């Protein structure tokens, strides 16, 4: 079955470390997204990518970096510059809008919970 796989499910980071969260999809979706969710809050967009080798900053990109070398993969690196990285990170993908203007919803992974220790 097609879907999005995020790994690891739980990740612990020491102060000053960079960590990379994996996101892989086999849905053949062009667009991929990274969101951050803090307790009791909605999702905030970190980065998104519409096509391979291109990505755009979202609302809270500072302290994060991404790459999109393959259509299937969109890893997120949480750098030491991110001062408050403890959160639940969600990766999503979507098909582009169709030629007739039909929109499609997002497919989400199951998330990675990052904790600073």
Partner 1 sequence: SQQGEEDPQALSIQEGENATMNCSYKTSINNLQWYRQNSGRGLVHLILIRSNEREKHSGRLRVTLDTSKKSSSLLITASRAADTASYFCATAFTTSYDKVIFGPGTSLSVIP
Binding site for partner 1 (CB under 8 A): 4, 6, 31, 33, 35, 40-43, 45, 48, 50, 58, 88, 90, 92, 94, 96-97, 103-111, 113
CA dihedral 56, 59, 60, 64 (to 10 degrees): -10
Measured from the CB atom, the residue of 45 and 80 that comes closer to partner 1 is 45
Give the shortest CB-88-to-partner 1 separation in angstroms: 8
Measured from the CB atom, the residue of 18 and 115 that comes closer to partner 1 is 115
Give the shortest CB-86-to-partner 1 separation in angstroms: 15
Separation CA 22–CA 113 (nearest Å) = 12
- In Å, the largest CA–CA distance within the chain is 49
Measured from the CB atom, the residue of 84 and 103 that comes closer to partner 1 is 103
Measured from the CB atom, the residue of 14 and 103 that comes closer to partner 1 is 103
CA distances from 102 to 29, 31, 99 (A): 15, 15, 7
Residue 57, Ramachandran bin (φ over 0: left; ψ between -120 and 50: alpha; else beta): beta
Give the shortest CB-57-to-partner 1 separation in angstroms: 11
CA 55 to chain centre: 11
């Amino acid at each position: 079955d097609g879907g999005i796989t995020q790994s690891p499910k739980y990740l612990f980071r020491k102060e000053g470390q960079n960590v990379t969260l994996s996101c892989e999809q086999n849905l053949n979706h062009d667009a991929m997204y990274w969101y951050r969710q803090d307790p009791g809050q909605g999702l905030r967009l970190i980065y998104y990518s519409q096509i391979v080798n291109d990505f755009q900053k979202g609302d809270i990109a500072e302290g994060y970096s991404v790459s999109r070398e393959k259509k299937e993969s969109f890893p997120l690196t949480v750098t030491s510059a991110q001062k408050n990285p403890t959160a639940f990170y969600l990766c999503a993908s979507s098909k582009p809008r169709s030629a007739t203007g039909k929109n499609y919803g997002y497919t989400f992974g199951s998330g990675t919970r990052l904790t600073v220790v």
